[in-house]
Structure 1
């Protein structure tokens, strides 16, 4: 897929993740013990042979730059093509800064125009999966579609309140799209991924800009649904749509299922991330662990069950962590209990404290909190 470039559009609603996105964009939220959400879509592109990737960044992107650097871990530290950060357009209107994504596409048309690839894959970051774009690209060429969008059939477990759902004919052609649907428990979920010729993308951006339109999905896709030949390509594997604290928590709990973890991290290629060298985790004599993902540099003296621990977490003697996600450099002191908890970085839970959320409403602890 050397003739395909990738654009990752991070202009997503950050409010859904509340405390987790106070200091970072959704794409930079840690997940799975040592990864960030953006690692999945970026690794999918690299594993599919894409070597030119542009990232349209939101306002607060310092943590994203720190994580990704020059793209070395993804083999994008290159003299030709490589990884490009496309900062947000500061377009001022009487009501403040204009943030919808088409304006940001428009402000980076020079990057799109001068890229040497013929095709482009556009993707958001909050759809976590492991897929092969080569298969979807072959489908796009075989159907001779103007555009191919990727979708996943809902299992009924997801809340589709913030999704876009589509309807297709028997041959796969998309005949309808609806944002924030009324029926929130079933449908074909648009994965916010689209394949098209670069020239079509430029025409859509210019056409929308000339009419004052501002949203790529609503104005670029839905309004042109009957003018363009748009087909849907079905993704058959695992998909996590991160649009709330509950969905983030559920996705991390899903990783404790071996079949899901194996598929997500290895099925169509390895998921890459920033490498941080450190000592192995130390399990002391009193440590008890069951069904847990534990990163390096941790020290465990207490009990860890059905949980994910990031780097450098310390669980003291007599402490118990159950059904929880504990991020980097947290400390759980003696005889403390955490259950159904998402703990941000550098949190200290002092001796004897009991913190318990609900399975469908986990307790979230803000960064650097001491309890």
Structure 2
């Protein structure tokens, strides 16, 4: 028997976007750091946890699961470590191999949905940074008498990319959808799907069985978006903070927007808490010579130089006379004495040697890959 208010989830972490290289060369988009201590994955996980979702079926690309496990561990921060609450991680390419062998490739998802005994399922991914109250969406969904509720946000078209889904409404307020690349009449404001849906579980099982019978293969969310216009759907407008991570520039801008207190508070300190992996460390040390202006720093850092309009992650070090401006510094990186970093994204375990200059621009932030030791100036305008 289905439990009337119970929800399970299919969480997809398979999106790839090469415009985010080299940041995603050794990690999925889902585990990209955000605002010093979070990961993009924290936002869908927190929305699910706040809605008391008890079981999550996660998919990831082959070779990209390690950073997900490293971050999530037992899942305790999101309430997923009990006997009744669990998460499962599957490799997306395994389903492709089953399809190539002529085997039923959606059976694991269907089995998960049946065993969950949940009346409703959330389809969600890690591409959008937002903080959606899924409990409120579920209430709307249950009163709609429709099988699907799609969550969207009204944005200017430049916020979307070609593969994103746009929802349109006719004169009777009936919703239809298209990928942005298919539209010939882009409007000043569009309803951008957040790749987030609440659906009736029994309906979803039937949909996946149909997709399997027709030989359609993709993540469940993408298949639903592809066929969305066939169905009479309900919609829910999300009006909170949102960033669409689609490029290095958009990723940089999303992080820097957290220096605006209104954005920071709206996303992270509303009624729906955002949870992340707990790390108990010593506080950050600021020397008497240090100067920090309009910046955020996580725990365990040592700051002896100057930091302005920047975000510095855990256990990083800014040495004496070093200058960091309008930049993002990931975990355990070192900016040596006299070095200058501006408009840059410094990945984990990077060392900028003394007196070296690393500088990009607002439109083209320079990215320094993991474990790099920078010994010569890097100027990218």
How high is the TM-score relative to the length of structure 2? 0.90
1:88–1:104: 8 Å Cα contact kept in structure 2? no
Local SS of the residue matching 1:260:
helix
What does residue 145 of structure 1 align with? 146
What does residue 113 of structure 1 align with? 114
1:164–1:190: 8 Å Cα contact kept in structure 2? yes
What does residue 89 of structure 2 align with? 85
Q: CA deviation at 1:2?
A: 4.5
Q: 1:225 aligns with which of 225, 229, 233?
A: 229
Q: Which moved more, 1:176-185 or 1:54-63?
A: 176-185
Q: CA deviation at 1:202?
A: 1.1
1:160–1:185: 8 Å Cα contact kept in structure 2? no
Q: Where in structure 2 are the equivalents of 1:121-200 lying within 5 Å?
A: 121-155=122-156, 158-169=159-170, 172-182=173-183, 183=186, 186-200=189-203
What does residue 70 of structure 1 align with? 74
Q: 2:248 aligns with which of 242, 245, 248?
A: 245
2:106–2:209: 8 Å Cα contact kept in structure 1? no
Answering whether residue 329 of structure 2 is matched by residue 326 of structure 1, we say yes
What does residue 346 of structure 1 align with? 349
What does residue 308 of structure 1 align with? 311
Aligned-CA RMSD value = 2.2
How high is the TM-score relative to the length of structure 1? 0.92
Q: CA deviation at 1:329?
A: 0.5
1:47–1:269: 8 Å Cα contact kept in structure 2? yes
Answering whether residue 296 of structure 2 is matched by residue 289 of structure 1, we say no
1:159–1:184: 8 Å Cα contact kept in structure 2? no
Q: Where in structure 2 are the equivalents of 1:25-104 lying within 5 Å?
A: 25-59=28-62, 60-90=64-94
Q: CA deviation at 1:74?
A: 1.2
Q: CA deviation at 1:135?
A: 1.3
Q: CA deviation at 1:313?
A: 0.7
Q: CA deviation at 1:173?
A: 3.2
CA distance in 2, matches of 1:250, 1:315: 22
Aligned CA distance change for structure 1 residues 89 and 114 (closer, same or farther; 3 Å) = farther
- Give deviations 1:181-227, integer Å, cap 9, x for gaps: 5539641101000111111111111101111112345644443523x
Local SS of the residue matching 1:145:
coil
CA distance in 2, matches of 1:97, 1:247: 35
Structure 1: tracts of 5 or more residues without a match: none
